[in-house]
Each structure stands twice: as C-alpha cells, then as structure tokens.
A = this chain, B = another copy of it.
Amino acid sequence: MLQDQNFFDTLSDETRRRLLALLFRQGELCVCELQYAVDMPQPKISRHLAVMREAEVLAVRREGTWIYYRLHPGLPLWAYRIVEAMTQSISQSHLFDRDAARLEEMANRPARCSA
C-alpha cells in the first residue's frame, strides 16, 4: 500500500518528477524511451524508476525485452491529483519541453515497432 512518506519522497527529486510527468502524459513508456527523453545514464533512470515502483507510484509490465512503466492503477485519488498538478507545473518549463521533444524525435520506439 502507498505510504505518504514514500509518495512525497518520490516527488522530492527533479529527475523523478520529469519521469513521472512523462508517464502521466504518455500513459506508458519503456525504460529506453524514458532514458532517451531525459538523456541520462541508464542505471540512473533505472534506480529512480525502482524507487517509484517500490513506493507503488508506478506499475510495471514486461513485454519481451522491454519493460513498460505506467502510473500505478491503484494510486489513490488524492495522489493522482498531486501528480496531475505537478505535471501541469513542470509542463511549463523548458526542461520538460525538451524531454517531450526528444521523445517525439526518438527513432525506433518499441511501441511503434509492435504497433
């Protein structure tokens, strides 16, 4: 079950907020897409995703080699509202603009291949 402390710890790191905002807007993304979007070392992304997974803020689905992350479906409404408001805020920053733009420009996205 989601613990308050873990949830707010999740939000206390800018990298995690960027990943979370991308997932909130896109619905589901695999690690390599998130990595490409925020342009950071893979282990770093993986660790931050693990923090959010263990906090039950994110849920995971495996499909072959790829692992897809999404908002945890059991997220309480109050927590969902907070993620929504955070996303609204971060969406206005250049930082997030670039994340979203990079994601759009990414070639060979796994979701596209399987689609």
Contacts and interface: CB of A to CB of B under 8 A. Distances in A.
Interface of A: 4-5, 8-9, 11-12, 14, 17, 76, 78-79, 81-82, 85-86, 88-90, 93
Nearest to A2: B89
Contact of A81 (B81, B90, B93): B81
Q: Is the interface of A mostly helix, strand, loop or mixed?
A: helix
A54 B31 CA distance: 36
A8 B17 contact: yes
Given A82-B86, A88-B78, A14 B4 contact: yes
B12 A12 contact: yes
17 contacts: A4-B14, A4-B89, A4-B90, A4-B93, A5-B14, A8-B8, A8-B12, A8-B86, A9-B12, A11-B11, A11-B12, A76-B89, A78-B86, A79-B85, A81-B82, A81-B85, A82-B82
